[in-house]
Amino acid sequence: MHQYIVKRILLMVPTLFGAAVLVFFLMRMIPGDVCELRLAGTGSTFDPASLALCQKELGLDKPMFVQFVSWVGGFFVGDLGTSMWTNQPIVSEIALRFQVSLQIALMATVVSIAISIPMGIISAVKRNTWIDYAVRAFSIAGIAMPSFWLGILIILGLLITSQAWYGVPWMPPITYVPIWEDWQVNLSMLIWPALATGYRYSAVATRMTRSAMLEVLREDYVRTARAKGLIEKVIVNRHALKNALLPVVTVIGIEFAFLMGGLVVTEQVFNLNGLGKLFVESVSNHDYTMTQSLVMLVALIFVVTNFVVDLLYAWLDPRIRYS
C-alpha cells in the first residue's frame, strides 16, 4: 500500500508539469495582452510609452522561454509571483478565494450526498413504482437545469416572495463573511448556492447510485443473503450499498474537484468571491500569472482528489487493497 501511495504521488509531478506547459503557451496564444487592455480598454487616448513601460514592468518584453523558466522556477520554490492585473501577491489573492470555494464545495457535497444516496437507494429498491418515477424525474430535472439558472430563480424567488409576504424584498448577502466571524450571515449567503449546485450535483449521483444499486441487488451474494432470511434493510444497507458506492464515490470526487474551480457562472450569480470568479476575471484581463497559477491549483485539486478517491476505493473494496 505504501509503495502504491508513493508511486501515485510521483506520477503527479509529470501531470502537473504537462498542465504547466499547456496553460503557459495556450494563454499566450490568445490575442492581446494585459497592458493593452488596461490602457486602451476605456477607449480613451493614451501615451504609447505607457504601454511599453507596462510591458517591461511585467516582463512581457522578455522571450517566452525566459518567462516560462522564471514562472516554473518560482513555482517550485513556492513563489507564485504577483498578479499582472492587481500587482498583489498571487498566494494572498488565491487564499482569500480558496476558503469561499472550499466552503461552497463542502456544503454542496453534503447537500448532494444527503439527497442522492437515500434517493438513489429508494429508487432502486422501489424500481418501476411511482416513487422510482418521481425520483428519476427529480434527478433528470437536476441534470437538465444549469445551477446558475437555478441560482437566478432562487434569488428572484426570494425577492418576490419576501416582498409579497413581508413587504420588503430580501436577497442573500452579497459580501462574504467567514463562518467564524458571523455564522448566520455566512450561511444566509452560502446556503443558496450550495442548494443550487448541490441539487445538480445530487442528480448525477442519484442516477449513479440507482443504477449501481440495481446491479448489486441482482448479485448472487444478495440472493444468498435473502435466502438466509436477512431483513431487507440489512441486505440493502450492509451488503449492497457498500459495493454500490464505488462508482458513486468516483462521481462525487470528480464533482467536488469541479466545484472548487468550476463554479464560474454560479459564483457570479451569487457574487461569491471564489476561485471560479477569479478564474474568469484573470482570463478576461489576460492576467497570465494569475491564470497559470489557478490552472495549476485546479489541476492539483483534481490530481489530489483522484488520489483520495483511489484510496477510498481501496478502503471500500478489499480486493483493490490486497492487489
Partner 1 sequence: MSSGLKTFAASVAVTAALALGLSGAMAAETPKKGGVLKFVVPDEPPSFDGHRETTFALIHPIAPFYSLLTKVNPENSSDPTDIICDLCTEMPKATDGGKTFTFKLRQGVTFEDGSPLDAKDVKATFHKIIFPGEGVSSARKAYFVMVDSVEAPDASTVVFKLKYPSSAFIPALAMPFNFIYDDAKLAQDMHWYEKNVLGSGPFQKFERQAGAFIKGTANPNYYEKGKPYLDGIEAIFAKKESLRVQAIRGDRAAIEFRGFPPQSRDDLVKALGKDITVQESDWNCVLLITPNHRKKPFDDVRVRRALTLAVDRWGGSEYLSKIAIVKTVGGIAFPKHPLAATKAELEQLAGYWPDLAKSREEAKKLLKEAGIPDGFKFTLNNRAVDQPYKIVGTWLIDQWKQIGLVVDQQVQPTGPFYDTLRKKQDFDVSIDFNCQSIVNPLLDVSKFISADLSDSQYGGYIDRDVDKLFNAMNETDDTAAQRKMMREMEKIILDEKALGFITMWWYRIIPHRSYVKGWNVSPSHYLNQDLANVWLDQ
Binding site for partner 1 (CB under 8 A): 30-33, 36-48, 50-51, 53-54, 85-88, 92-93, 96-97, 152, 155-156, 158-159, 163, 168-171, 173-176, 268-271, 273, 277-278, 280-281, 284-286
Nearer Cβ to partner 1 (9/95) = 95
Q: 193 near 266, Cβ under 8 Å?
A: yes
Give the max Cα distance, the chain.
Answer: 85
Residue 8 vs 62, nearer CB to partner 1: 62
User: How near is the Cβ of 155 to partner 1 at its closest, in Å?
Assistant: 6
Q: Smallest distance, Å, CB 97 to partner 1?
A: 7
Rounded least distance, CB 184 to partner 1, Å: 16
**DSSP alpha helices (H): ranges in the chain?**
2-29, 34-40, 48-57, 64-76, 90-125, 130-144, 147-166, 183-217, 220-227, 232-234, 241-262, 264-269, 275-284, 288-316, 318-322
Distances (CA, A) of 123 to 130, 252, 265: 9, 19, 31
- The DSSP call for residue 219 is S
151 or 253: whose CB is closer to partner 1?
Answer: 151
User: Contact at 8 Å (CB) between 172 and 195?
Assistant: no
Nearer to partner 1, 15 or 268 (CB): 268
Q: How far is the CB of 111 from partner 1 (least distance, A)?
A: 22
Shortest spacing between CB 60 and partner 1, in angstroms:
13
Is the CB of 96 or the CB of 222 nearer to partner 1? Answer: 96
Q: Using alpha carbons only, how large is the chain's radius of gyration in Å?
A: 24
